[in-house]
Structure formats: C-alpha cells, structure tokens
C-alpha cells in the first residue's frame, strides 16, 4: 500500500465518526423535515378528507345526545321538590360560565389509550383527565381511541364509575375502536420487543387517525411513536403526552451490566454480557435515540413523578430544545382517591383497635410488580416466629387483564404452597372499589415491591388510608410518596427479601402506629384528584391556546 493510499485511508477512518454524527444530527432531521412537509402533509390532508364525514357525525351525535340528556334530566327534576332540584352546577355549566371562563371551545380532543378498559392506575389518569376536560370545556367533544372492541360505551362508563368512582358525562364522549391493538402486544414481538411494540404503535396511530382526525391529540399511555407520527402527518396539530414510564431509560441500560449497582434489578438484570448482551446493549442505545427523536416532537409533556420527569428530560430534553419546544416538562401527579378514602376510612384511637395484622399489596398482576419478591420476603418474615409474624396475613388486591395475568396468579398460588404460607396469603382478584376501601380500613401495612415504580397510586392510597407503607427503595414511592413529614417518617423502604422482612416486622410492631398513620394521611393531600385536575388543565390550556 503506497503512502497516498495510507493517507486517504487514515482520513476516511478519522472522518467516519464525524460523518455519522453529521448525518444523524443534521442530515437525518433535514430529510425528516422534508418528508414531513411533502409526503407526510399530503397523507395528512388525505386523512382529513377521509374522516370529515365521521367528524360531522360525532358533532351531530353529541348535539343529539346532549338534547336528550337535558330533556331526561329536566323530566326527572320535575318530579322533585324545589329544594332538591339541581342548582345548575352540572358538568355542562351555564352560558355565563362559558362566556366568562373561556369554556366555549368546541373542538375535538382525541385521547389515545388503546387499553382504556384495563382498570389500572393509568386508566384512572385517563378518566380523571377526561372528566376534568369535560368540566373545563363542556362544549368540546371527547374521542377515546381504544382497542376494547367488545365493550360498549355504556359498559365502559359503568366500569369507570364502578372501579374509580368517576362520573363521565355521556353525551360528549365517543369511543372509536381500533382493529390493530394486537400490533402493540408484547406477545406479537417475542424478539426486539421494544422496537416491535413501538412500530406497532405506529400502525395503531395510523388506524386511529384514519377513524377521525382530532383538533388536539393526547396520548395517555406512553406511545411516543404515535405522537411522532401525528406530527409528520399534521405538523400544526397540538399534541400532548402524559408519560407514566419512559419506554427506555438509563436505568434500564445500566441494569444490563451485572457490575453496575442496578445490575441485579428489573426483568433484564445482568443480561448485558457476552455477544448477545453486547448486541442488546447497542440495540437499546439505538432505540433510545429514536425514542428521544419521536418524543421531542410533542408540544406539551407531563410526567407522573419526578423520577419519570428526570428520565424523560434526559432523553427528550436536548432535542426538544433544538426543536424550539417552549413548554417545560411538567410533573402532574396522578389523581388519587384521597378525599374519598378520607371519608371512608377513619384514623383515630378508636379505629386503631379495629385494625388487624393485614399487609395489602394493591397492584395488577404484571411481572414488573414483583409479587414473587413480596411472597418470598413474607415467607422469611413468617419463619421468624415473632408475635407479629404469627398474626400477619398478606393480601394481594389486583385486576387480572388477560390469560397471561391468570397464569401469573396460578404460579403465585403454587409458590405460596411451596413456601408453606397458604393459610396466611389471600388473593382478592378484580376486587371492586368498595371492597378495596374495606381492606384499606382494616389493614395495618401497605406493600409495594416494584423496582423503579414510575409512581405508585396504590402507595398513595395506603397513605390516605393511614396504612404504614413498606415500599421498594426506588422510583416514585421513594422520591415522591413515602417521604418524611416534619422530619418524621411515614413508612419504610426496602430492596431485598431480608430488608422487606425486617420492614414488615418494624411496621407491624411499631410502638405508635397511629402517629405514623396521621402523618401518612397529611402527606397524601399532595395527590388529590382536585390537584391533578388543576395541573392537568393548566397544561391542556396551552394546547387549546395553540388552536385558538
């Protein structure tokens, strides 16, 4: 090889990283912008034309349903005494309220939540957000894109009332049913699941926008790719994301390394070794870059905790700044039934006598909730033979979404038998809200076992009910919820089986549990439904202003 060839080769090698960086940071965004302004906008125009008919139908159906609703309400009130008639403070509001409060905006807000009938904490956020939006803009039309095709509107709203005690105004809400939800299921993508599900969300997003194009598009499940698609198709349509948990995070990347402090946590703990591990690590890094790119396109971003905010800021923040997104990423704590629990559950010296040595764990039966850790820790606690351990019973309260959850429950029951604690473990599946309130009123301790729980609505419910929480020493339960009040603890943190077992003993044998319960309830007031509605509307108002 002659000297000229060597020099040329050296220059090419030296310039390759620069070329890659230039391509990723300049050429790729430029090509993306050109594509959005040409092909994307053309496709978006076609979708608008295609869905104009359904949009008109939604507007007409809303007006007709509203008329019938008012007539039925008036007829019902005609039979009441004047003193018991409605005082006009319904969700619709008066004309003066609309004029003075700026409530007259009458566009369509689309909520993208393909699993809206799941009955979990994310669904409570959705329905509380819908209710708050209806109250603030009573003339607006609400569209929920869902894959729950077998569930009618009436059954859906009845379950919302039954599960969350949230009343939704029926006339202005409409459900549009997706036929592509299976594309986003993890079972559809046994390999490269993160990328596969994200690509599947693009298919679902196209499906949703093919049904009707809203004026404002809001994702309340965490599908950043769907919002990215909407910006390609409709660059000027305001978008918002309520992020419960980043699809990928630096903690996930760190967990692949068994030598890292978090290398023993999560479902992929320590899997970053060898050729397969290295490939997985690079794949995750590339996916994180694409995820950041998509997320940066969102106009208004809300996170459910400071932990989630920190991760989303590190991923989306730099590109959001480059793209000129002016609204900061806001923490909007999820709505929790604090006020209702306060009314239902007494905290006093008298009620303390009725408490029993129950430890309750409110969580869906998903693998990341780590019910197995809690069972094994509880078994160790029982083997200590203390007075508290002899009396203690562990209660699992959670919804079962599908066959996968049912199989997990079956395996947990087998584990209970293997650990010889069958007489001290109770499974209450799909318990209705009134039954959950009863458990919160008579239990002693509330448990959470998930590593890096994004928030933990169940933990807030523990606080509101005065339970002494024993939670995982990470994520939202550690940073936002189970924190000191006036320098005094409101609960305990743990990471390992031994630490949880020790914490169970400390909580159940606490010398002054009533003082802890009172501090816990005081701390829970940061997470009321009213506080959520106030912060939610402050963010959504930014989107309405963009449409005005």
pLDDT tens digits, 96-121? 333 334 568 999 999 999 999 988 88
CA geometry: angle at 400 spanning 397 and 406, to 5°? Answer: 110
pLDDT tens, residue by residue, 12-50: 444 444 444 444 455 555 555 665 567 888 999 999 999
State whether residue 331 is helix, strand or coil: strand
CA distance linking residue 76 with residue 259, whole number of Å: 68
Beta bridge partners of 301: 241
- pLDDT at residue 72, as a whole number: 87
CA distance linking residue 72 with residue 57, whole number of Å: 22
Q: What are phi and psi of 404, to 5 degrees?
A: -60, -45
- CB count in 10 Å sphere of residue 384: 13
Quote the tokens at residue 188.
Answer: 């559809």
- Confidence band of 3 (pLDDT split at 50, 70, 90): low
- Mean pLDDT of the 484-512 span: 96
- pLDDT at residue 33, as a whole number: 61
Are 490 and 526 within 8 A, CB to CB? no
For residue 365, give the DSSP letter.
S
- pLDDT at residue 258, as a whole number: 62
State whether residue 92 is helix, strand or coil: coil
Percent of the chain with pLDDT over 70: 85
Are 137 and 538 within 8 A, CB to CB? no
pLDDT tens, residue by residue, 503-516: 999 999 999 999 99
* CA proximity to 493, closest of 472, 511, 477: 472
Dmax of the chain from CA atoms?
103
Q: Starting from the edge strand earliest in sequence, which strands make up the sheet with 300-303, in order?
A: 173-177, 141-146, 108-112, 216-219, 239-243, 300-303, 330-331
pLDDT tens, residue by residue, 70-91: 988 888 877 665 444 443 344 3
CA distance linking residue 381 with residue 389, whole number of Å: 6
- Mean pLDDT of the 322-342 span: 93
CA distance linking residue 300 with residue 288, whole number of Å: 20
- CB count in 10 Å sphere of residue 368: 15
Q: Domain 21-59+108-335, what fold?
A: Rossmann fold (3.40.50)
Give the number of C-alpha atoms closer than 13 A to the C-alpha of residue 496, restricted to the C-beta side. 4
* CA proximity to 145, closest of 54, 70, 77: 54
Q: 249 pLDDT exceeds 50? A: yes
Rounded to the nearest integer, the mean pLDDT of the chain is 87
Query: Please, what is the end-to-end C-alpha distance for the chain in angstroms?
Result: 67
- pLDDT at residue 78, as a whole number: 73
Q: What are phi and psi of 194, to 5 degrees?
A: -60, -50
* CA proximity to 369, closest of 344, 400, 338: 400
In Å, how far are 215, 238, 539, 540 from 545, measured between CA atoms?
12, 10, 10, 9
The strand pair at 393-398 and 358-362 is best described as: parallel
- Confidence band of 2 (pLDDT split at 50, 70, 90): low
The 3 state secondary structure assigned to 472-522 is ECCHHHHHHHCCCECCECCCEEECCHHHHHHHHHHHHCCCCHHHHHHHHHH
Q: Starting from the edge strand earliest in sequence, which strands make up the sheet with 492-494, in order?
A: 425-429, 393-398, 358-362, 445-447, 468-472, 492-494
Q: 10 pLDDT exceeds 80? A: no
Q: 289 pLDDT exceeds 80? A: yes
CA distance linking residue 197 with residue 309, whole number of Å: 22
CA distance linking residue 536 with residue 544, whole number of Å: 13
pLDDT tens, residue by residue, 145-163: 999 999 999 999 999 998 8
Q: What is the pTM of this model?
A: 0.79
Are 51 and 211 within 8 A, CB to CB? yes
CATH architecture of 338-527: 3-Layer(aba) Sandwich (3.40)
State whether residue 300 is helix, strand or coil: strand
- pLDDT at residue 254, as a whole number: 67
Q: 351 pLDDT exceeds 80? A: yes
Percent of the chain with pLDDT over 90: 68
Compare 35 and 407 and report the one with higher pLDDT: 407
Beta bridge partners of 468: 445
User: Which residue ranges does the chain devote to CATH 3.40.50.2000?
Assistant: 338-527
Q: Which residues contact 219 (CB under 8 A, 6 or more apart)?
A: 112, 113, 226, 227, 239, 240, 241, 242
- pLDDT at residue 186, as a whole number: 87
- Mean pLDDT of the 308-328 span: 93
Q: 61 pLDDT exceeds 50? A: yes
- pLDDT at residue 18, as a whole number: 45
């Amino acid at each position: 090889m002659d000297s000229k060839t060597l020099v040329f080769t050296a220059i090419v090698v030296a310039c390759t990283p620069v070329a890659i960086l230039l391509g990723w940071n300049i050429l790729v965004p430029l090509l993306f912008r050109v594509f959005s302004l040409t092909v994307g906008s053309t496709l978006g125009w076609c979708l608008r034309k295609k869905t104009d008919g359904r949009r008109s139908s939604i507007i007409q159906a809303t007006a007709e349903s509203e008329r019938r609703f008012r007539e039925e309400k008036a007829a019902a009130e005609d039979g009441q005494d004047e003193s018991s008639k409605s005082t006009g403070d319904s969700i619709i509001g008066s004309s003066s309220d609309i004029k003075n409060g700026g409530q007259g905006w009458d566009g369509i807000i689309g909520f993208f939540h393909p699993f809206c009938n799941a009955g979990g904490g994310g669904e409570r956020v959705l329905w509380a957000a819908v209710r708050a939006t209806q109250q603030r803009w009573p003339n607006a039309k609400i569209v929920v894109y869902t894959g729950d095709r077998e569930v009618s509107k009436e059954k859906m709203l009845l379950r919302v009332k039954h599960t969350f005690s949230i009343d939704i105004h029926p006339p202005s809400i409409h459900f549009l049913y997706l036929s592509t939800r299976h594309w986003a299921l993890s079972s559809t993508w046994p390999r490269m699941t993160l990328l596969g599900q994200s690509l599947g969300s693009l298919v679902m997003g196209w499906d949703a926008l093919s049904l009707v194009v809203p004026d404002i598009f809001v994702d309340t499940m965490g599908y950043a790719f769907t919002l990215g698609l909407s910006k390609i198709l409709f660059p000027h349509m305001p978008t918002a994301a309520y992020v419960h948990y980043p699809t990928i995070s630096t903690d996930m990347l760190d967990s692949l390394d068994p030598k890292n402090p978090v290398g023993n946590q999560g479902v992929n703990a320590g899997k970053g070794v060898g050729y397969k591990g290295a490939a997985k690590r690079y794949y995750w890094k590339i996916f994180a870059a694409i995820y950041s790119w998509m997320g940066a396109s969102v106009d208004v971003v809300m996170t459910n905790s400071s932990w989630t905010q920190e991760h989303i800021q590190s991923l989306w923040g730099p590109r959001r700044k480059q793209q000129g997104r002016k609204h900061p990423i806001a923490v909007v704590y999820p709505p929790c039934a604090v006020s209702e629990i306060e009314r239902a559950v007494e905290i006093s010296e008298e009620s303390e006598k009725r408490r029993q040595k129950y430890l309750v764990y409110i969580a869906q039966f998903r693998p990341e909730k780590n019910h197995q850790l809690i069972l094994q820790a509880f078994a160790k606690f029982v083997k200590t033979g203390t007075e508290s351990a002899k009396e203690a019973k562990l209660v699992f309260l959670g919804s079962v979404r599908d066959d996968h959850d049912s199989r997990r429950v079956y395996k947990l029951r087998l584990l209970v038998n293997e650990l010889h604690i069958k007489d001290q473990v109770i499974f209450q599946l799909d318990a209705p809200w009134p039954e959950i309130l009863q458990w919160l009123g008579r239990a002693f301790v509330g448990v959470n076992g998930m590593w890096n729980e994004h928030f933990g609505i169940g933990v807030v419910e523990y606080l509101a009910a005065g339970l002494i929480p024993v939670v995982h020493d990470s994520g939202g339960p550690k940073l936002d919820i189970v924190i000191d009040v006036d320098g005094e603890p409101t609960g305990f943190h743990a990471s390992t089986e031994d630490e949880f077992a020790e914490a169970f003993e400390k909580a159940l044998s606490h010398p002054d549990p009533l003082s802890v319960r009172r501090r816990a309830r005081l701390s829970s007031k940061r997470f009321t439904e009213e506080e959520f509605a106030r912060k939610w509307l402050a963010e959504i108002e930014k989107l309405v202003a963009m449409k005005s």
